[in-house]
A and B are shown apart, each in its own frame.
Chain A
Amino acid sequence: MHIVVCIKQVPDSAQIRIHPVTNTIMRQGVPAIINPFDLFSLEEALRIKDKVGARVTVLTMGPPMAETSLRKALSLGADDAVLLTDRKFAGSDTLATSYALTSAIRKLSEEETVDLVFCGKQTVDGDTAQVGPGIATRLGFQQLTYITKIESIDQGAREIVVHRRSEGGVQVLKTALPCMITMLEGTNTIRFGKMDDMFRAARYGLKTWNKDTTGAEEMKVGLKGSPTVVSKVFVPKPRAQKATMVEVESPGAETPTAEAQAAAAVEAIFGTQPKLADELLARAAAGL
């Protein structure tokens, strides 16, 4: 069994700041991490390796510095790593990105047939959730997104049973390998690497591939291969109106009590929001 896990190095979005004048993202000093959603998928791939035996290859497309994320994945237990990097890939949207990654997965499959591809649910920088489905569609793999649990994998019969989150419940699906799976977050606990894997990761000679290595066509990658065009980037407009502070009667100069504050807040709602007040009363009357 050969599993490819696609990961992406992203800036830690919790620490992103916007330059107040230029409205651009200030990346200086923002640590680069493995996209958090990818870790749940990597963990699941490693669990399959532990349980039934598999070779796990991590693949990333990005700038040369993305090598550090590959080494991190190796230290967690991945067997092999591929860095797909080429200036020609710059500016790729999801259609072009899934094309480039698919060209690398096809090349990996020539060495050893790929049975499963894992992707993160989405990235925390792009937030599109489109690259996984793009890869599945191009490869003709069964597409299994938002998976909460892999119930069973039968290597002999090449069958897999999974639980897939849908809006109104959970679908239990049975399908055949090869598949592309994205795991829902919080479905498993991410492991810590073992010491010998950490040493191995530091010394590992990972593969660095470019457009020509995988035979990707120039017209299908980067800006040329991207149908979408970013026409404007801006900071969300603050609402013109700040909150009205609830006026609280406090005899004397001491701070008002919580009771007085609560009473004033309820009064403000019932006094100035007749529609909402009626709604609350109707709900109470209906016993909701």
Chain B
Amino acid sequence: MTSAALRSRAWKLLEMVTTPLLPSDYLDLISPLRAGADLRGRIEAVHPETGDAATIVIRPGRGWRGHTAGQYVRIGVDVDGVRLWRAYSVTSPTNRQDGRVTITVKAIPDGKVSNHLVRKAKPGTLIQLDQPTGDFVLPQANPAKVLYLTAGSGITPVMGMLRDVEFDDVVMVHSAPQPQDVIFRNELHDLVADKKLRLTELHTDTDGMLDIAHLAELVPDWAERETWACGPAGLLDAAEEHWTEHGVQERLHTERFRPGIVVTGDGGEVTFSATGKTVHADGATPLLDIGEEAGVLMPSGCRMGICFGCVTPLKSGAVRDLRTGEITEAEPGVLIQTCVSAAAGPCDIER
């Protein structure tokens, strides 16, 4: 028997020993970051960057496959006991000696996860991790001239690039409200002092927003540069338009942080994605009834919110709890009780 077959037999036997749990349920108690475990990380340090941004140093589990500069990672953090998932750019270089990775988080107003990470996260806390992903990365072959066009926390994936690969000719145009809001400011200025970077720092509170039409005044050869842009949607929309207008759109690479903003309202179009049906729902009828009326096979139970027999994944959109009025927005892994939830805007139910 091959060693792989032996191992699988041994594992089967172990499963019999631990049934109805799995051996990993016990191993997780001792070694949650081991190889073969669900990917997790441990927060080892939190370094403040600005008044509302901090860098989180994470020791990833053994299953971590490593990232490419510019990529982001989804992390699951328990905030007030509720597991919430968000994506953050990796800001550490790929060759960091101690194997740790960092993300840099800016607290956004009312941001549950970002405020928690910046102000409350404690070293020693376990978080959930996904493998890094994203195609906002540098190419295999080094371009001769590079432009980084960033604003606010849009600097984070670019910082991962700056720390990772040195180019001969790099220009950066970065906007932030005030000097003290510039994340990584000291490090950027050190790079400038070492002549590794040419930096234009714009302070929008005093200088106003960057007008992309005047980019040529700051970077005359912008059109010849391979450009990576990251920041608010307004900046990226303007950049895409500008680059397209000049016929050099293939040189522009952009990264958008918040692709979908959930529209909440009272009722809306409900899609039952597994069945392929879309119907209109008002804001007062339980989604269970909406589904059944549309002929969708819905799991059901007590129909009053107590038996949890009807829980179903909410793939997108938002629903309102008819008992408490609480809004639940779709996130991976979010399940809703269809018997006490009504559509709060367009939503997609996996049935």
A and B assemble together: no
